């Protein structure tokens, strides 16, 4: 026999504490917030909710500012680009909501659009219509600049965070491999992904961030560091050369697109220079016996060349600077005697192959 006052419940717990805990432990809170912003863009917002939303926006802005000021390393606030984008959307939604209330209910009094706006209006205008009109014009200009330039700034911040995160990603792979959380095959796959990100996607992210400024000022220079491996490939360097091929293809198209804006694009193709590329920055994958005769010599060459390269990085930097400052900047700048010889030999092979198959190539047109 059970007590009359006792009730048994089963299923989901919809208590406020459980709901808050569920939202904090999942992406549901972020999704709900974005949906709420979209709703505000479309539907009217009550005055009370607008006051709360404006207060939250101001508080959140101060919180972001204090967080950005006091972090010691960029990676401590790696979500900053996303937060910046969401807060921009929030302010745009609140601007529309407040404008809708002012235009629709402004005749009902200064409090019709909320007490927050009323307080700011009294503080800034001080009962003078001319002052209010001038401040309003300034705010319109500021909002226009923020909205039009915001996407470029967000892309710039995202690019910086993407590049700063590269060393951390590499160390994370090494740590997971040492701890036995992943095997050699998975580590190799992750390293190839990071290599593609750094060689191509990282360069494209930085370029994308710079293009709006270059178009506006109608001058500038973009230098993308490729390699002699961007013109040819070698056994064991398929992933590396694939990323460099992609970078060179994008840069070649970019050079034609940006020429009307007075922006130079330079592809640097260095050979072997005395850096840490084949030293501390190099990671060797496990050998596969079936490829020992093909990839083995390349592996040995890369391993033994460390600190014996003929290329001087300081002279390479001076050559790049001279090419950028030249009146006729080349599209490609080959650096190093080894790169010059290898690229010339490769180009000659391509021309010989083209000549040998030219008749077949030209015979593929429709008859008539």
Cα 114 to Cα 52: distance, rounded to the nearest angstrom: 10
CA 298 to each of CA 66, 193, 280, 305: distance values in angstroms, whole numbers, following the listed order: 51, 21, 18, 11
CA atoms within 13 A on the CB side of 35: 6
From the list 243, 244, 251, 264, the catalytic residue is 244
Nearest Cα to Cα of residue 159 among 118, 123, 209, 121: 209
Does residue 240 carry a catalytic annotation?
A: yes
**Dist CA 118 CA 109 (whole Å):** 10
Annotated catalytic residue, options 162, 240, 243, 251 = 240
The answer to whether 244 is a known catalytic residue is yes
Cα separation of 364 and 359, whole Å? 9
* Secondary structure class of 183 (helix, strand, coil): coil
Residue 26 to residue 43: CA distance in whole angstroms: 27
SS3 per residue for 217-260: HCCEEEEEECCHHHCCCCCCCHHHHHHHHHHHHHHHHHHHHHHH
The residue annotated as part of the active site, out of 226, 227, 241, 251, is 226
- HEC string of 100-138? HHHHHHHHHCHHHHCHHHHHHHHHHHCCCHHHHHHHHHH
Tokens of 112: 């019709």
The residue among 156, 245, 170 whose CA lies nearest residue 200 is: 245
Q: In what order do the strands lie in the sheet with 220-225?
A: 220-225, 263-270, 332-335
Residues that are catalytic = 226, 240, 244
């Amino acid at each position: 026999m059970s007590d009359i006052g006792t009730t048994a419940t089963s299923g989901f717990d919809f208590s406020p504490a459980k709901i808050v805990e569920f939202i904090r432990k999942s992406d549901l809170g972020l999704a709900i917030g974005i949906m709420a912003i979209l709703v505000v863009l479309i539907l009217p917002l009550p005055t009370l909710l607008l006051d709360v939303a404006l207060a939250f926006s101001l508080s959140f802005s101060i919180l972001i500012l204090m967080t950005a000021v006091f972090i010691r390393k960029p990676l401590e606030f790696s979500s900053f680009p996303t937060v910046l984008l969401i807060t921009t959307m929030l302010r745009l939604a609140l601007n529309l909501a407040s404008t809708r209330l002012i235009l629709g209910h402004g005749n009902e009094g200064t409090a019709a659009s909320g007490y927050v706006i009323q307080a700011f209006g009294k503080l800034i205008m001080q009962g003078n219509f001319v002052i209010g009109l001038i401040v309003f014009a300034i705010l319109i200009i500021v909002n226009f600049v923020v909205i039009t330039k915001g996407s470029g700034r967000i892309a710039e911040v995202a690019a910086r965070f993407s590049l700063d995160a590269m060393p951390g990603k590499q160390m994370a792979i090494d740590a997971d491999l040492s701890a036995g959380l992943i095997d050699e095959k998975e580590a190799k796959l992750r390293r190839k992904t990071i290599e593609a990100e750094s060689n191509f996607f990282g360069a494209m992210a930085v370029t994308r961030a710079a293009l709006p400024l270059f178009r506006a000022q109608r001058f500038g220079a973009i230098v993308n560091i490729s390699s002699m491996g961007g013109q040819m490939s070698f056994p064991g360097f398929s992933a590396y050369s694939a990323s460099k091929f992609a970078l060179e293809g994008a840069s070649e198209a970019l050079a034609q697109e940006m020429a009307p804006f007075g922006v130079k694009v330079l592809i640097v193709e260095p050979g072997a220079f005395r850096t840490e590329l084949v030293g501390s920055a190099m990671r060797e994958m496990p050998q596969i016996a079936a490829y020992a005769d093909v990839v083995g010599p390349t592996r040995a060459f890369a391993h033994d060349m460390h600190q014996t390269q003929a290329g001087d990085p300081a002279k390479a930097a001076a050559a790049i600077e001279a090419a950028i400052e030249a009146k006729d900047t080349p599209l490609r700048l080959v650096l190093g005697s080894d790169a010059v010889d290898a690229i010339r030999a490769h180009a000659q092979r391509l021309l010989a192959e083209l000549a040998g198959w030219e008749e077949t190539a030209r015979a593929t047109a429709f008859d008539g």
